[in-house]
Amino acid sequence: MVTIKNDVLQVELEPKGAEISKIIGLQDGINYMWKQDPCLWAHSAPILFPIVGALKDGQCRINGKTYKMNQHGFSRNTDYAIDEADDNHVVFHMSQSEATKEMYPFDFDVFITYSLDGNKLVADLRVENNGADEEIYFQIGGHPAFACPFVEGEDVNAYYVEFEKPEYKQRKMINDSRAGMSHETQSLFEGERRFFVRQAMFDHNAIVVKDFESEWVAIKSILHNKSLVFHMKNFDHVGLWTSKHVGGLLAIEPWVGHIDWVDFDGEFKEKESIVTLKQGEKFDAQFIVEINQ
C-alpha cells in the first residue's frame, strides 16, 4: 500500500494492478471509491493492459501464433514496481517478464504516475516500446469504480451522470450471451447531458460510447452539492458500468479499445482502436478524478 496526501485528499494505492484503493476527502471524511466488496466486485480501479474487455474465446493471434489471455489482460493481476514515491506522487512500473511473454510476446514498459493537484488525483498512463526493431500492439484503459451513493444510506436513485457537453452518440451494445460486442447500437442521448442512475440502463452490461464530445463525466446528486468529476484525455471510448444490483458502485472507465466483436476473427493488430508503437515510441493518456466535497 502506498499513501499520498495533501491538504484536501488522501489517496491509497495498491502496487497490484497499479490500483486506486481509496480517495478520501479530508473535509468530509468520505471515501469516494468503491469499497471493494467481493460480493459485488472485489476491485476498485485496476489498470487494463494489453487488452480492454475480453478476447473472443479467450484467445488471440499475434503474428500467426495463438495466445490466451483473461479479460482485461494481465496488468490488473501484476505487482507493479515502485520507481518513485513521495507524499504527493508515485510512479508504478511494469515491464515484460517470462509470465507475460506466455500471453503477449512483446517487450514493453508501462508507467502509471499518480499525483495530487489540489482536489484532483491525476493519473498519467504511458506505454513505451522497448523492443528491438519490432512494432508492438496494445489496448489500455482504466476501470475506476466509485461509491454511488457517496454517503452510505442515501438513495442511489437521487444520483445522476452528467456529461460536459450535449451528446448525440449511440451506445454500443454488448452481447452477453456471445461474450462480445455486437454490431447493434442503441440511442443513448438526443442532445441531452444527464441521466439518472437506473438498473434498466445496465441490463445489457456496460454503457459503451465511442468518440464522445465531452472532456469530462460527473457523478452528482440532487441531495447535496458533492460531486465527482472524471476528466479524460486521449481515450476514444468510455464505459459506464455497475454491478447487477444498482446501489454501491458506479464505474467510469476510460478505454482505448473494447471487448472483441462477436464475429472478430482477425489478428491482434486488427482489433478496433489498437495502438501501434514502433521501437522507441511512446503512448500517453490521462485521467483525472476531481472531488468536490
Give residue 8's Cα distance to chain centre. Answer: 24
Instruction: Write out pLDDT tens, residues 32-56.
Output: 999 988 877 888 999 999 999 999 9
CA 36, CA 236: separation in Å to the nearest integer? Answer: 27
Instruction: Write out pLDDT tens, residues 161-177.
Output: 999 998 888 888 888 77
176: cell is: 452477453
Domain membership of residue 79 as a residue range:
2-292
226: cell is: 458533492
CB 16 within 8 Å of CB 43: no
Query: CATH number, domain at 137?
Result: 2.70.98.10
pTM of the model: 0.94
CA 30, CA 22: separation in Å to the nearest integer? Answer: 10
Instruction: Write out pLDDT tens, residues 195-249.
Output: 888 777 777 788 899 998 899 999 999 999 999 999 999 999 999 998 766 568 8
Tell me what pLDDT residue 244 has.
Answer: 67
How many residues comprise the chain?
A: 293
Contacts of 100 (CB under 8 A, 6+ apart): 74, 78
Total count of domains within the chain: 1
Tell me what pLDDT residue 191 has.
Answer: 81
Q: Cite the beta strand spans of 150-281 per DSSP E.
A: 159-163, 170-175, 180-187, 194-196, 207-210, 216-221, 227-233, 237-241, 248-256, 275-277
